[in-house]
Structure 1
């Protein structure tokens, strides 16, 4: 879709402790590939991603999201976004070229939900193992769950109304779904996209500046079930066993990395266009919206953030 110049969610930087255990988990259980290192960070990508990295793991004493980033079509878009977002009232920083491995200049925005969101264009291109000439559908040597790509993140904050205004009214994202109180007067959660997927980012009312989960895309429901087997075999803590969402219609499983960051692998959903009408759920149906089969949230899903 990207009529606004914002292509997609391109990367996320996660704080992790027990660093080497976390790196082992993301490479051998989740199945990402290491593409670079610096003093305090490891850079990774999924096998079907063309850019240098989509995930950065940062050594830390705590868990959570340091920032997430959206790739834009060119550097002129960065200048346009900087002015539009500045006029909206957000604090903006310039991240200088090569501040991180493989990355060019970026702008960092402190959004009303308490998160840091970056926008960038320049990042090293490394390609995919299948290549671009007569490629096979998948490469040899895949490890673990092996998702195709980074897909989305769900964040929590107190001021989700202004955060939604920023993404929808200023940045041109489409709001695909939302949850409101039964009387319709208060916003509880919003799902937003700049691509043709059901959401690139979602924000739910909750602790300020926190991460609920980060999601990766798999090809099929069978792959979700296989992911569950891999997680159980490796004794990974599973939050929610395979099920379907009502919101976004996706099929899913949730689990935790060694630091307590919630991960998701996800498939299915629907196509989104610029004229996609927002689907509304009321708070009394939130359980069914999130977990369509059980129709209720488990305790951890509604209370554990990082």
Structure 2
């Protein structure tokens, strides 16, 4: 069912690190992420804002770029590698695979590599960033959900198995997965020793479905919903609060001013030990989608942020999840 994992990969990715989003209105987006999500601004220019969570020492985990013509797209999702020499190994690996790889200069980061996976998901790899003081004890800076650190990304791929196999070659292990009969539909993969750095779900892609921040207390999730409503984003509290089946986290999903989806959730369990087997979930079971509460709307399953300048490919079979709309119809029948 699951592809093999290389436990001694050609280079060492350590964790999900940062994401770069195009936005139409920089001030409006900055307001959303500081006042509702609770991130802090590390630095900014006339066209770019760099933000981080309260417990993050590295310069940024979210970069907002004013790009009116390319708004509603994602530039890159970023991963850290352990050593600078891992970047050279990564460059060789991607080139040998016939995949895009180029060196770029990125502000506040050390040497940085832009690469693409086999389905053209846009990735950014770096080994170092400038550092800043952690702010998790500076109560005067706390706003919104008090977001602590970036945790994971979820992407759409037109072929989950092949994507899972590729990232398995890079050392990503599976904590849990979604399947129907013998078909792999979702893979929850990790590098940092908790259950998730990268989730891959079969759908038209490549797309960035969401990125997630960890909050310190469960009540911060409800605080974020209240503040979202106060600031006019009540209809953009898209899914939750609820509890996931896979991972078991409390969660809520919000849509930002450009429609990018951000998840706020509490912490994961540990997955460091190699004897731990991935957990299988039946994709057709409602409890997989949510342990309590109602299923998500249709848009949660099918709307996602496209990567800048990247065409979409469709899966062989379109997903057919139990949406809120279908659930309501079934109850009325």
Q: TM-score, normalised by structure 2?
A: 0.82
Counterpart among 31, 45, 52 of residue 59 in structure 2: 52
Q: Deviations over 1:164-193 (max 9, x none)?
A: 11211x211111111122x21x22111110
Q: Tell whether the 8 Å contact from 1:153 to 1:213 is kept in structure 2 after alignment.
A: yes
**3-state secondary structure, aligned to 2:186:** strand
> Is 2:92 aligned against 1:70?
no
Following superposition, the deviation at residue 220 of structure 1 comes to 2.4
Following superposition, the deviation at residue 116 of structure 1 comes to 0.8
**3-state secondary structure, aligned to 1:13:** strand
Cα separation, 1, equivalents of 2:135 and 2:43: 16
Q: Using a 3 Å threshold, how does the CA distance of structure 1 residues 222 and 29 change in structure 2: closer, same or farther?
A: closer
Gaps spanning 5+ residues in structure 2: where? 1-6, 306-333
**Residue aligning to 2:328:** none
Q: Using a 3 Å threshold, how does the CA distance of structure 1 residues 272 and 80 change in structure 2: closer, same or farther?
A: same
**Residue aligning to 1:10:** 17
Cα separation, 2, equivalents of 1:220 and 1:197: 18
Counterpart among 80, 91, 106 of residue 82 in structure 1: 91
Q: Tell whether the 8 Å contact from 1:36 to 1:101 is kept in structure 2 after alignment.
A: no
> Is 2:222 aligned against 1:225?
yes
Q: Tell whether the 8 Å contact from 2:91 to 2:102 is kept in structure 1 after alignment.
A: no
Q: Tell whether the 8 Å contact from 1:38 to 1:101 is kept in structure 2 after alignment.
A: no
What aligned pairs does 1:124-203 form with structure 2 within 5 A after superposition? 124-129=130-135, 136=137, 139-168=139-168, 170-181=169-180, 183-184=181-182, 186-203=183-200
> Is 2:102 aligned against 1:93?
yes
Q: Tell whether the 8 Å contact from 2:282 to 2:288 is kept in structure 1 after alignment.
A: no
Q: Deviations over 1:21-41 (max 9, x none)?
A: 112111222221212224532
**Residue aligning to 2:304:** 305
Gaps spanning 5+ residues in structure 1: where? 131-135
Following superposition, the deviation at residue 238 of structure 1 comes to 0.6
Number of aligned residues: 292
Q: Tell whether the 8 Å contact from 2:188 to 2:198 is kept in structure 1 after alignment.
A: yes
Q: TM-score, normalised by structure 1?
A: 0.89
Counterpart among 111, 114, 133 of residue 117 in structure 2: 111
